[in-house]
Every structure is written in C-alpha cells, then in structure tokens.
Amino acid sequence: MQNDKAPSHESQDAKNQSEWEDPNNWSTIYFSKRDSRSTVPKRDPRQGWTINFGHPKGAVWIYYLFLFFFMIGLMIGVGVGIGIEILD
C-alpha cells in the first residue's frame, strides 16, 4: 500500500526550484529554510555555487570556513613570530 501523503522527491525538487527562483531569498547571500539543499547554484549558474544560509548544514559550512581562515592566520602569525625570534 502506497502512502499518498508522503512528499515525493519531485515535489521537493519543485519546491527547491521555486525557492531558488524567488528573489526574496536572494540578497548578497541565499537564505531559504524551505530549500532542502545546503549548497545551491548562484543566480548565474556559470559562476558556481553558494551556501544556503537558511539550511542547518549551511551554518556548519560557515563555521568550518571561518575556522579554516583562522587556522591559516594563526599559522602565518606563528611563522612570522618564529622568524622574528630567529632575527633577534
């Protein structure tokens, strides 16, 4: 027996497409809690992909992105500090 109330994959794809096309979800960033994707094509798909800030995994992406740049900055700072010690 098939459950007619279960959302189909096609209806979620249609909802995602509708959310992506809605200009209210776009500013400098893309934010839609109803879109099930954590990354979406940019408005001009030839320019790549962007993060859906309304999706829980979108927040995780941002966290790791900030952590990555923080670690790079920390390594550069430590490297510069070691270089200064050697020169002294």
pLDDT of residue 73: 92
pLDDT of residue 28: 87
Which residues in the chain land under pLDDT 50? 1
pLDDT of residue 5: 58
- Distance (Å, rounded) from C-alpha 21 to C-alpha 13? 12
- Is 2 among the domain residues? no
pTM of the model: 0.66
Question: How many structural domains is the chain composed of?
Answer: 1
- Is 23 among the domain residues? yes
φ/ψ of 86, rounded to 5, equals: -65, -35
For residue 83, give its domain range.
9-87
The token duo for 57 is 């995994």
Question: 8, 17, 59: which is closest to 35 by C-alpha?
Answer: 17
pLDDT of residue 17: 94
